[in-house]
Structure 1
Amino acid sequence: MGHLSIRNIKRLLKFNAVKGFHTDTLHDVGICHPCSLAKSEHRPIQSPSRGSILTAGDMILEDLIGPLPWSIDKKRYALIIQDSFSRLTAFIPLKDKSEAQIHPQTWMIQFMNMTRVTIKGLRTDNGAEFKNNNMDEFLRRRGIVHEYSMPYEHHQNGKVERTNRTILEIARTSLIIAGFPTIIWPWAFKHAVWIFNRTLHADEKKTPYEIISGMKLSQGLFEVKRAWHSVNWDSLMEGSRIG
């Protein structure tokens, strides 16, 4: 009977839906192990809660977006780096995945120097761009613990992956509104990250920018947003030194 439950079989009998089937053929088999296995659900492995992230630098999150369309300056990947506590986010355009071995190291050194905080942990996936001797040696010398998210457990690095989606949406919208081609997506990403760092997220009462810098926003935020949409393609290429 396809491993129907006793309850469902009794309902068939009650409504006389099966000919020649009698109740005396029924017996309780207890727990059906194949059924238990088939009906089992995957329960996500819980990542550390916000309560375990007490200050800036406690955990840095990294993720790679791509491959994306080739940009005008030959970039195809977007490296997103985020401080889990403040959500302060950085974007680095890359030509190749292998560049993700070096750029995070430079960013972490700059972050520690500018904020005077100590980075304690780094969480990435198991990609070769993050799992290599170069990165391991850098982290070991600075006492930074490298955590890897489990395969297929994307929620473990869910915060930075949600950030990725937000940045992608802002960047795409900015390109559409301005009428710019996708080959300048790195500029749109930089614009999107700039906005992300200066807006409120979740239940926070401060922006990532204010949490890290201690400074509130000025009206300049809105001027910059208008500036992006008012610039034209010719002037952008003229000032980019890549035309």
Structure 2
Amino acid sequence: MMEKGYTLHFGGDSCTIYDNKDKTLKIVEVRMKEHKCFPIHLQYMGRTAIKAQEDQSWLWHRRLGHFNFQGLKILHQKKMMTDLPQIQAAKGACEACLQGKQHKKPFPSGTSWRAKAVLELIHTDVCGPMRTPSHEQNRYFILFIDDYSRMTWVYFMREKSEVFKVFKKFKNLVEKQSGRSIKVLRSDRGKEYNNSEFDKFCEEEGIEHQTTVSYNPQQNEVSERKNRTVMEMARSMLQEKHLPKAFWAEAVYTAVYLLNRCPTKAVQNMTPIEAWSGKKPSAKHLRVFGSICYVHIPTEKRHKLEEKTEKGIFLGYSTQSKG
């Protein structure tokens, strides 16, 4: 067995055998019998258990929007999410990740000032236009990222000119939720942010509006990095289920929802949503984006002989509804 790479540990009156690939994985512990022998009685089960574990790891990788396995292990080990089983890094490559994720060098991590409380600094950026409009005819989305918690909000727009209206809506929401006021807003120099109407509103509300140098996205690295991560995750989810590009908005919304429940280096030992709300997220309700689902039809909306469920496609989560 040792020639095949297995590790044998003798201690007391037993022998413990560890896997030849994963030296921390205990296969069996054998008690010493007469004549100081260690008889092993094994029934061949093939790779059933390992295969089942790998299948579960891939399932949670997909349920959490193709999030990386290292992040999933941290999520479980540090108990940052309830109802999440232990996850091992699966072998092989995820085709949807290869197709959907870019492989560019990341922005260099700067030593810029970090907020010490929620809403002290909000990062924002607009992405678009998308070649294919969503089912609601939107071509853009805008992200707002809280620097302290890294909690992210997404809104969809038909035109860039809607940014000011959307910002007021976002401001009203988060200030009511937190009981705090936005102190600093950081954006690029796009016209949608830099205009007299926007400047006047920020001045009246006591918001410092910081803008980055033109053609220098690294200065807005938090927004730019989040934008890229969201798009990569959304692409991977659409690619895996071969869904039409018109569902990009649903995929983007789901990506943001899941990233708020995944670990980030910027926040220690908790997810963004816990850092924002104080509530630990659960994995109980998570499902694979684009999967077939069955929706219950209420008794009031069907006759006695009609089907009780309607077949559909799972396209994300609602924050306004329990079901």
2:135 is equivalent to residue 72 of structure 1:
yes
Residue number in structure 2 paired with 1:172: 235
Residue in structure 2 matched with residue 217 of structure 1 by the alignment: 281
Higher Cα radius of gyration: 1
The two structures, once aligned, show a CA RMSD in angstroms of 2.3
Question: Structure 1 pair 153/124, CA: closer, same or farther in 2 (3 Å)?
Answer: same
Identical-pair percentage: 29
Question: 1: CA distance between counterparts of 2:265 and 2:112?
Answer: 14
Counterpart CA distance in 1 for 2:185 and 2:129 is: 23
Structure 2 SS opposite 1:108 = helix
> Hey, what does 2:262 align to over in structure 1?
199
SS of equivalent to 1:235: strand
Q: For residue 78 of structure 1, give the secondary structure of its aligned residue in structure 2.
A: strand
d(CA) in 2 for partners of 1:231 and 1:97?
A: 35
Residue pair 2:243, 2:290 contacting (<8 A) in 1 also: no
Which residue is equivalent to 1:97?
A: 160
Is the contact between residue 292 and residue 313 of structure 2 (CA under 8 Å) also seen in structure 1? no
**Partner of residue 185, structure 2:** 122
CA distance in 1, matches of 2:201, 2:110: 24
Q: Distance in 2 between matches of 1:226 and 1:178?
A: 10
| Partners of 1:142 and 1:209 in 2: CA distance | 26
- Aligned match of 1:57: 119
Q: Which amino acid aligns with 1:114?
A: Q
Which whole-Å CA distance do the structure 1 matches of 2:289 and 2:244 have between them? 17
SS in 1 for 2:288: helix
Residue aligned with 1:90, SS: strand
4+ long deviations beyond 6 Å = none
Distance, in Å, in 2 between the alignment partners of 1:152 and 1:144 is 24
Relative distance call for 1:56 and 1:122 in structure 2 (3 A) is: same
Partner amino acid for 1:163? K
User: Deviations for 1:198-231, whole angstroms, at most 9, x for unmatched residues?
Assistant: 00111521111000110111133xx323365334
Distance 1:90 1:160 in 2: 11
SS in 1 for 2:287: helix
Q: Secondary structure at the match of 1:113?
A: helix
CA distance in 2, matches of 1:58, 1:198: 21
Q: Which amino acid aligns with 2:274?
A: E
Find the aligned partners of 2:269 and 2:163 in 1 and give their Cα distance: 32
Deviation track 1:29-56 (CA, whole Å, cap 9, x = no partner) reads xxxxxxxxxxxxxxx9x977244x2111
1:225 and 1:155 map into 2 onto residues whose CA distance is 35
Distance 1:227 1:157 in 2: 30
8 A Cα contact 1:105 1:138, kept in partner: no
Query: Is the contact made by 2:144 and 2:153 (CA closer than 8 Å) also made in structure 1?
Result: yes
1:95 corresponds to which letter in structure 2?
R
SS in structure 1 opposite 2:312? helix
Is 1:111 the counterpart of 2:188 in the alignment? no
User: Would you say how many aligned residue pairs link Structure 1 and Structure 2?
Assistant: 189
Question: In structure 1, how many angstroms separate the alpha carbons of the residues matched to 2:144 and 2:232?
Answer: 17
Partner of 1:9: none
For 1:227 and 1:150, locate their aligned partners in 2 and report how far apart those are by CA, in whole Å: 38
- Residue 178 of structure 1 aligns with an amino acid whose one-letter code is K
- Structure 1, unmatched stretches of 5+, are 1-43, 238-243
CA distance in 1, matches of 2:283, 2:313: 24
